[in-house]
Chain A
Amino acid sequence: MNHSKVFVALLRKEVLSEWRNKYAISGILLYLLSIVMLIAFTFETTDDRTWMVMFWIAILFTSVNAVAKSFLQESEGRQYYMYTLAAPQLIILSKMVYNTLLMLLLSSIALLLYVVSLGYPVADSLSFLIAMLLGAMSFAATFSMISAIAGKASNSATLTAILSFPILLPVMRILIRISLRALPQESLQVNAQDMLYLLALNVFIVVLALILFPYLWRD
């Protein structure tokens, strides 16, 4: 089989296994709903800055829960079986792509819930949407790689968070900076540099993961 065929098969497998474990995704959705409701009920009314920062924090915590399980949910046996079938690079890449899609879905739902409960103050929607796209990419890539690392250790749920938050802190900072600039007016031009930088960072994370992941899975 050629690589693209394997890749598509792996992606299909991810979607299927998510679909068969509907309780997992519904758990995440409920989690998201509770975070947004928590923010909405505790702040009651938010100023624009709080709106944005809390939005990103909600996304961050949702993605910890949604993406971090990607390697934890699979039994050891199934993992070995997968590694006999496909190259490790393809496996991590398919996880990343799938998780990006999942994150996009979740962030759109989060945005929807957020808009319903707290309103929509963003003037430059395009910048904000691009930031969401880039954010989904970096969260998915980082959490996929880190959960692969943490999955090998005990108490991996905590580990995923502590291993990835330092790495995501600068990413969050750039994301929030882009989105805060998007609040008052059109600012795509000003944001272009940050966006390019974030994109480069994403590519960097993916490349590093592709190089390092093959060392991880052998036991």
Chain B
Amino acid sequence: MAVVLLLYTFTAGMLIDVPARFVLHETIRNLFFHVPVWFTMILLLLVSLIYSTLYLRHGKLAYDIVAEQLAKVAVVFGVLGFLTGALWGNYTWGDTFSWLFADTKILGAFIGLLIYVAYFILRGSVPDEEKRARISSVYSIFAYILLIVFIFVIPRLTDSLHPGNGGNPAFSTYDLDNTMRLVFYPAVFAYFLTGCWIASQLIRLRILHYRKHNINI
């Protein structure tokens, strides 16, 4: 457990790089915000999933705490992804909200958020910790894997305005030049680290809470 915590505090130290703002013209700047935020959500949820499987394998409550807090932070990033996406859509597609449910990729992301809100409600309705941890781990694995299938597979089968779908190439193929790459990849990394850092704080808080109540984890 100490190793996990150390690892997280270590990442916190690297946070100084975060405000990777690079002023470019046009809304393409949003690429540094919208896209990394989604990547971060998916990555955080992936790590959360890994901890859920670890919990099912070893039965240590600490793994479940990590999984829960990571999912929490991921949902926040997901909401941010929606907000930045709405802003972007406002300028490029000409309308903020009307496309919201017409697009399969957005639908996938929306489902993802719904799944994790449901996950928290599920957690809330099981009072016993061990049981809660096990049940929610099972649900999270079940739902996440299906979510990945929806987000990455379904949109490729249908038409969509969103870049990277339905014959629209993603940005990287034509207009992500090298300077932007220099900002984009660190941005993804930085957001991910920020997410991990926030989650690590939340995890420590939970662990302290358990210690305070003398629950052995």
Interface residues of A in 165-219 (CB under 8 A from B): 165-167, 169-170, 173-174, 193-194, 197, 201, 204-205, 208-209, 212-213, 215-216, 219
Interface string of A20-35 (1 = CB under 8 A from B): 0000000000000000
Q: How far is the CA of A117 from the CA of B154 in the complex (A)?
A: 35
Interface residues of B in 161-176 (CB under 8 A from A): none
Q: How far is the CA of A150 from the CA of B135 in the complex (A)?
A: 8
Question: Among the listed A149, A165, A169, which residue makes an inter-chain contact with B139, where contact means beta carbons less than 8 Å apart?
Answer: A149
Question: Among the listed A170, A209, A215, which residue makes an inter-chain contact with B154, where contact means beta carbons less than 8 Å apart?
Answer: A170
Question: Among the listed A169, A204, A215, which residue makes an inter-chain contact with B134, where contact means beta carbons less than 8 Å apart?
Answer: A215
Given A159-B122, A204-B146, A205-B146, check contact A166 B135 (CB 8 Å).
no
User: Are A149 and B135 in contact (CB-based, < 8 A)?
Assistant: yes
Min CB distance B5 to A, Å, is: 26
Interface residues of A in 95-153 (CB under 8 A from B): 145-146, 149-150, 152-153
Q: Please, which residues of chain A bring their CB within 8 A of the CB of B139?
A: 146, 149, 163
Q: Which of B56, B126, B139, B143 has the most CB of A within 10 A?
A: B139
Q: How far is the CA of A167 from the CA of B149 in the complex (A)?
A: 11
Given A167-B146, A169-B107, check contact A212 B125 (CB 8 Å).
no
User: Are B142 and A166 in contact (CB-based, < 8 A)?
Assistant: no
User: Are A208 and B137 in contact (CB-based, < 8 A)?
Assistant: no
Q: Please, which residues of chain B bring their CB within 8 A of the CB of A209?
A: 142
Chain B, interface residues (CB within 8 Å), range = 20 to 34
Interface residues of B in 121-153 (CB under 8 A from A): 121-122, 125-127, 131, 134-135, 137-139, 141-143, 145-146, 149-150, 153
Min CB distance A177 to B, Å, is: 8
Min CB distance B132 to A, Å, is: 8
Question: A75 within 8 Å of B by Cβ?
Answer: no
Question: A162 within 8 Å of B by Cβ?
Answer: yes
Question: Among the listed B56, B115, B122, B157, which residue makes an inter-chain contact with A153, where contact means beta carbons less than 8 Å apart?
Answer: B122
Q: How far is the CA of A167 from the CA of B3 in the complex (A)?
A: 35
Question: A2 within 8 Å of B by Cβ?
Answer: no
Question: B20 within 8 Å of A by Cβ?
Answer: no
Question: Among the listed B126, B127, B135, B157, which residue makes an inter-chain contact with A197, where contact means beta carbons less than 8 Å apart?
Answer: B157
User: Are A154 and B157 in contact (CB-based, < 8 A)?
Assistant: no
| Chain A residues engaging chain B, CB cutoff 8 angstroms | 145-146, 149-150, 152-155, 159, 162-163, 165-167, 169-170, 173-174, 193-194, 197, 201, 204-205, 208-209, 212-213, 215-216, 219
Q: What are 19 sample pairs from A and B whose C-beta atoms fall under 8 A apart?
A: A149-B142, A154-B127, A159-B125, A162-B118, A163-B143, A166-B112, A166-B114, A166-B115, A167-B111, A167-B146, A170-B111, A174-B154, A197-B153, A197-B154, A201-B146, A204-B145, A204-B149, A212-B138, A212-B141
